[in-house]
Amino acid sequence: MPPRRLGASGALRATLPVSERPSHDLFLVHVHSPTLYHTELPRSECFARYVHTKCIKRLESFRVNFATAAPQRRVLLPLSFGVSSVALLHILDLHLKTQKSKTGRTGFSISALHVQELGLDPHEHVLLEKVKSEYPDHQYESLPLHDVFRLTPYDARIPGWDSNSPPQEQLARLLASLTSASARADVLSTLRTRLIVEHAKAIGCESVLWGDSTTKLAEKTLSETAKGRGYALPWHVTDGESPFGISVHYPLRDVLKKELMSYIAMARPELSTLVHRLSSVATQASTSSKSTTIDDLMKQYFESVEENFPSIVSNVVRTTSKLQVAADALKDPCCSLCGMPVPGGKFGIHGWGGDQQDGIDLASVDASQKICYGCTRSMPKTTVGVWNP
């Protein structure tokens, strides 16, 4: 059947009879020209382009630099084998291939880092090898979490640092001292971020490209606020320079997690084999209050909300993105654990006037040890006491 012409208004003047309609779902891409025919794209291809465009438009600063003397820029991509990080790697790989086919060069190179939290997981090792095989044009590295004690500069050393103990023992001692599941999850996340940032700086990366989706950023907004780090939200969810001395970007900040899961299924069937524990079922928090963390609760809440009310999730991120830090914020002293500048150097619990009698020894943390309010809630006296500035 010959294609239908579009009028100058771009509207299709005739409707196909039911018997002549394609058997598969299509998105119609209307070309507003009286001389061009409309084209039809499969739904999967159109949706993949939608996600791809959402991501790449956040990376305008990484266009191809045609200055011959300019060195190749490098970015770090943290790879957790979750839906978001695998989708981001796939999108960036396609983007670089497109740049090279058009210009003969790329705007940046990718170094991917996988962090082994509690030893090398055999399954994650297999996934890493699959990723290397699927995307061979990039650099890959896998580091144990305890390397954070080795890579962190002496003048920014982490509580629990002990020059007389190997990094493995320092990490084990630190985690064993934590008194709750929320504290453990919080410290693990903080150490993972510190390791990624320090590694990025060590290998000369210009920026860290986090794979956080809209859903993840909304989770982080509420969880960090609940933990007592609301003052640092602009650095946790927005693009730009960070207190760590390196810029950060969130290319997937305009894409929901459920959209990324659909993208993984539609873009390429092989992508799902690179994801660790891919599931379309919303996260369920533990029934035991002792093992439930703040992060788990926020994840469960926003994954359920995005199913029927995705605009709520997007509004949380858009509203938080409007927050701005003070012009001289980077001059404030930083927390020795999370690395965030603390306004006015108000370290510890008493610095914020939060004398909450909830079982934590309020005299446990000395302000001179430079632990912010949020980290103070997670770090017991015995742990902080190990570090001697």
CATH architecture of residue range(s) 47-62+71-279+302-327: 3-Layer(aba) Sandwich (3.40)
Give the separation between CA 255 and CA 251, rounded to whole angstroms.
9
Write the DSSP symbol of residue 117: S
Instruction: Give the up-direction half-sphere exposure of residue 230: CA atoms within 13 A in the CB hemisphere.
Output: 5
Q: Which residue has the tokens 């939290």?
A: 117
Pick the more confident residue, 297 or 69. Answer: 297
Choose between 28 and 71: higher pLDDT. Answer: 71
Contact 233, 323 (CB under 8 A): yes
Secondary structure of residue 209 in the 3-state scheme: strand
**Percent of the chain scored above 70 by pLDDT?**
76
Mean pLDDT of the region 153-159: 71
Q: Which residues contact 69 (CB under 8 A, 6 or more apart)?
A: none
Each residue's pLDDT tens digit, 74-108: 999 999 999 999 999 999 999 999 999 998 889 89
Q: What DSSP character marks residue 159? A: T
Q: What's the alpha-carbon Rg for the chain, to the nearest Å?
A: 24
Torsion from C-alpha of 143, 148, 152, 157, nearest 10 degrees: -170
Q: Tell which phi-psi region holds residue 152, choosing left (phi > 0), alpha (psi between -120 and 50) or beta.
A: beta
pLDDT in tens, 106-117: 989 999 999 998
pLDDT above 60 (res 34): no
pLDDT band of residue 386 (cuts 50, 70, 90) is: very low
Total Cβ atoms within 10 A of residue 227 = 21
* Burial classification of residue 330, based on how many CB atoms lie within 10 Å of its CB (0-12 exposed, 13-18 middle, 19 or more buried): middle
Categorize the per-residue pLDDT at 1 as very low, low, confident or very high, splitting at 50, 70 and 90. very low
Q: 3-class SS at 371?
A: coil
The token pair at 72 is 């190749």
With a cut of 50, say whether residue 48 has pLDDT above it. yes
Q: Which two tokens stand for residue 274?
A: 């690179």
